[in-house]
Amino acid sequence: MSDCIFCKIIKGDIPSANVYRDEQVTAIRDINPAAPTHILILPNRHIDSVNALSNDDEQLIGHLFTTAKQLAAQAGVADGGYRLIMNTGADGGQTVFHIHLHFLGGAPMKHPMG
């Protein structure tokens, strides 16, 4: 998607603090962090949101989570815990319509959500 900010970041057209990359996903630091460690895990292929997922995407979405597990270990927050969020649509708080998994850690998360 030519007008998608995350596609531009993945292509390297817009700079970002990359923390991980493989053939399926790219992980970047959120520009406006909501926790000491706030990483966004993006599929390299554009998908608008959870609403646009197909069965063929199941392995890819699983890979977002196994990447989160790996990043948690690297950041030293695996044992302490962390929060993974995927906002969907306007009421879900989604502002960038390229699907992404938020990784929030490094401090106790607040409850209740929503």
Tell me the catalytic residues: 100
Number of residues that bind ligand 5GP (CB under 6 A): 13
| Element housing 7 (H / E) | helix 5-11
The 7-46 contact track toward Zn ion, x by CB under 5 A, reads: x--------------------------------------x
Q: Which stretch binds ligand 5GP (CB under 6 A): 60-68, 71-79, 91-99, 104-112?
A: 91-99
In angstroms, the CA 38 to CA 75 distance is 11
Binder among 28, 35, 42, 104 for ligand 5GP (CB under 6 A): 28
Q: Which of 37, 41, 94, 98 binds Zn ion (CB under 5 A)?
A: 98
- Rg (C-alpha) for the chain, rounded Å, is 14
Partner whose footprint covers residue 1, from Zn ion, ligand 5GP, none (CB < 5 to 8 Å by kind):
Zn ion
Q: Find the Cα–Cα–Cα–Cα dihedral 8, 13, 19, 20, rounded to 10°.
A: 70
